[in-house]
Chain A
C-alpha cells in the first residue's frame, strides 16, 4: 500500500474534458495544463461549472469524455497516486464539532497517511492561519471563518501536490486572505501547483486562467 508515498511534482494535463450534469452540458472539450509551481484560476459566472470541474479533477466526478494525466500517465490507471497528489477544499469545511481544533487536524493528517505529528508541528501549522491560541477549543465553538481557516490549515499540514480550492476566501477576513495567499505562495515556491475557483479577493502572482461559460441544455447542443 505504500507505493508512491510522496507526491511527485509533475505537470497535470486535462485533455478535452466534457462534463454533463442532469441533462445539462456543463462544459465540453476543456483542455488545460497545470505545470509544477504554477497556479491556474477558474473564472466564470455562477453555474458555469467551476465546482464541477474541481470535483472532476479531484476524482469525485467522472468526466463524460476526455482524460487527465500526470506526466503522461493516465489518472484512471493509478487512482491511489492521484489521491496522494490532490488536496481538495470544497464548500463544506469537514470540521467535527465534538473534536478540538488540534484533534480535527491530527485525524485528517493520520487519514492522509502523515506520520504522527509532534505538538510543535501542529502548533506551527495552526500558526499559518493564526489558530494556535484556539488549539484546545472544541470546534463547535468556532465561527464560520475560523472553521474555514482550520480547513485551510489541513493543506499546509499535508500539502500533496495539486491544491483544488473552491472559493477558498468565503467567510474569511482580510488578514486571513493574506495568510492564505502566503501559504499558497510557499506551496508554489516548493513546486506545488493549484487550481482555484474564486470570484474576489485573492491576489495570486502570475497565473493562467481557464474561462468557463454558462452551462447549456443538452438538446440545444445536439441541435
Chain B
C-alpha cells in the first residue's frame, strides 16, 4: 500500500503547488450559488425551497469543471506511462488519483455547502443532512467522473464529452442528494435517501477503478 499513498501524496502536493484547480472549483461553486438570490429575488420562502437543488447542481457542475485535469496532465507529460509501469496495479492508480481529486475538490464542496445554505435561506433543520448528503454524494461524483476523464484522456478538447459521459451517472446522486435535504426540511425521515446515496457510493467505489483502469489501458496503447 506504500506506493498507493505515495501517489496520493504526490497528487496532493501537485494540486497545492498548482493551486488553481481547487481554487477555481471553490470560486465557481460559490459564485454560481450566489447568483441565485440575485436572479430569483430575496424572497426567503422561495429561496429556501430551491436551496438544496441549487447547491447540488452547482456542486455537480463544479466537479465536472475539474475532471479534465484528473489524468490529462500526467498523460501529456508522459508521467501516466511511468505511473502505469509502477508496481501499483492500474485499478489502484485510478483509485489513488480519484481520492486525491476528491480531497482537493469534493471535500471543499462539503465544507462550503453549509455556508451557501445560509445564503440560500435553507431550513434550519436541514443543515446536518445537507453536509451528510454532500459527504456521501461527492465521493461518488469524483469516482464516476474518473471514468469519464479516463475515457477522454487522449483527446485535445475532451471537456464537453466528459460532461456528456458523466451526467447520466451523476443524476441519481443529484436526485437522492436533493431528496435527503428536502425530506429533512419538511420534517420527514432523510434516512432512506442517505442510505441510497451510500449504496451509490459503494457501487461507484467498485465500478470506477475497474472501468477507469480499462479506459486508461486503451488510451495508453
Contact = CB atoms under 8 A, between A and B. Distances in A.
A62 B217 CA distance: 10
A47 interface: no
Interface stretch (B81-89, B182-190, B199-207): B81-89
A98 B17 contact: yes
B160 interface: no
Interface string B69-87: 0000000011101111111
A2 B141 CA distance: 32
Contacts of B220: 60
Interface in A145-200: none
Contacts of B83: 111
A114 B85 CA distance: 14
B86 A60 contact: no
Contacts of B9: 107, 110
Contacts of B14: 96, 98-99
Interface residues of A, number: 29
* Most chain B CB inside 10 Å of its own CB: which residue of A96, A103, A113: A96
A83 B77 contact: no
Contacts, number: 73
Main SS at interface, chain B: helix
A77 interface: no
B85 A59 contact: yes
A60 B85 contact: yes
Interface in A86-129: 86-88, 90-96, 98-99, 103, 107-108, 110-113
B81 A111 contact: no
A88 B85 contact: yes
Nearest to A89: B82
B65 to A, nearest CB: 20
Contacts of A83: 85-87
Contact of B77 (A58, A80, A92, A110): A92
A43 B220 CA distance: 24
B85 A111 contact: no
Given A95-B77, A111-B88, A113-B87, A88 B1 contact: no
B86 A90 contact: no
A61 interface: yes
Given A83-B87, A99-B17, A113 B2 contact: yes
Contacts of B10: 107, 110-111
A1 interface: yes
B33 interface: no
Interface centre among B7, B9, B87 (most CB of A within 10 A): B87
A50 interface: no
A111 B3 contact: yes
Given A93-B78, A110-B10, 13 more contacts: A60-B84, A60-B85, A61-B221, A90-B78, A90-B81, A92-B81, A96-B79, A103-B13, A107-B9, A108-B82, A110-B9, A112-B3, A113-B86
15 contacts: A59-B85, A60-B81, A60-B84, A61-B221, A83-B86, A86-B85, A90-B78, A99-B13, A99-B17, A110-B2, A110-B9, A111-B86, A111-B88, A112-B86, A113-B2
